[in-house]
Structure 1
Amino acid sequence: MNTVDPMQPPVEQDLFSEMEPVLVQADGGLRFVNLLVDRLLFMGFIYLLGFLLGMFAPGSVDWLADINPIVDFLLTSVLFSLYIGFQETLLNGITIGKFLTGTRAVNADGTPISAQTAFARGFSRAVPFEAFSALGTPCLPWHDSWTNTYVIKEKESRLGNN
């Protein structure tokens, strides 16, 4: 039988503690799988695009054969940034790689990222050697720290009052 001691003050329960987000960051291994899957799918997308352009507009991609390696890097970086930005915008912080690993990009407070933040994350990846910034523990690459975002494990995190 539970009795309340009248001499003890009542125990207060914090009603808002269940509403606070709990963000469990994805580790470097999951982040690497995300990168690998997204890069491979991006390469497949670019090859498909090149094939379709060559098929329906012969000669339209001939200029790519003699492209400068620096221009090639810049063009590829911009296209990858757009590719990732569109996915994170349309899928609410998820890319195909993140979908496969059960992760999602969110703002530091646990709210969904905006389109502006998604594209800023994408274009931050174009900075040379940016991928090496993910090697630390905890894994916080520049595209996360510059945009004040995290990649979280969805099943282990609680966003808002879920």
Structure 2
Amino acid sequence: MRKYLVVVDRHKATSGTRFINFFLDRLFIQVIYYSFFFVFGVGYAVVYGEGFDTESANQSVMFKLITLLIYLILSFSYFFCMEFYLGKTIAKYITGTEVISIDGNKPTAGQIIARTFSRAVPFDSLSFLGNNGWHDSWSDTRVIKGKNYVAERQLKEEINSIGAKEIR
């Protein structure tokens, strides 16, 4: 059971900011997705000397399943890699927010995996309009305004260090 810090909730991102994050992240995933297929198409043309026949491929159920699988893999990779290694996605960099654990620490790999898989639940993208998004609640994480949170944590640490014996 994680220790819950109230300071985390005081600095939660607003629903409007969360919506902007959602919209921008989906936009960036689409850019990555179409870039992937552009590079694939160029590579196919170079190797086989002809363009890829998208008309017949679009009618193939297997092609549709493969493109869906590629989209899901790219989407999962985007969220997992960005949030686990950097603590934020590209959209969160733009809006000045970040993902942290409810105990104030960096989220674990398990928390980020739970958070990322939770996004696949239908209507999860609308759940952030409530108190917390489902992918936040189920993974014990929060999206916070980074600068305000860091400033308050530093202030608390400075206050707690008053009167502490300094060793030189």
TM-score (norm 1): 0.74
2:97 maps to 1:103: yes
Deviation of the 1:154 alpha carbon: 0.8
Letter in 1 for 2:149: S
Matches within 5 A, 1:1-162: 22-23=7-8, 24-58=11-45, 65-66=58-59, 68=61, 71=65, 75-91=70-86, 93-136=87-130, 138=131, 140-158=132-150, 159=153, 161=157
User: Of the two structures, which has the highest relative contact order with CA contacts closer than 8 Å and spacing of 6 or more?
Assistant: 1
Q: What are the Cα deviations for residues 69-97 of structure 1, in whole angstroms up to 9, with x where unaligned?
A: 98465653443122111111221x21110
Q: Aligned with 1:49: secondary structure? A: helix
Note closer, same or farther for the CA distance 1:73–1:87 as it changes in structure 2 (3 Å cut). Answer: same
Q: Aligned with 1:152: secondary structure? A: strand
Q: What are the Cα deviations for residues 89-135 of structure 1, in whole angstroms up to 9, with x where unaligned?
A: 221x2111011111111000110112332232112111111112112
Once the two structures are overlaid, the 10-residue window that deviates more, 28-37 or 68-77, is 68-77
Kept in 2: contact 1:54–1:61 (CA 8 A):
no
TM-score (norm 2): 0.71
Letter in 2 for 1:65: N
Kept in 2: contact 1:21–1:157 (CA 8 A):
no
CA distance in 2, matches of 1:119, 1:82: 10
Kept in 2: contact 1:34–1:97 (CA 8 A):
yes
Deviation of the 1:57 alpha carbon: 2.1
Deviation of the 1:65 alpha carbon: 2.0
How many pairs does the alignment contain?
140
- Rg (Cα) greater in structure: 1
Using the aligned pairs only, state the percent identity.
36
Letter in 1 for 2:20: V
Q: Aligned with 2:149: secondary structure? A: coil
CA distance in 2, matches of 1:73, 1:118: 22
- More helix by proportion, 1 or 2? 2
Note closer, same or farther for the CA distance 1:152–1:67 as it changes in structure 2 (3 Å cut). Answer: farther
Q: Aligned with 2:7: secondary structure? A: coil
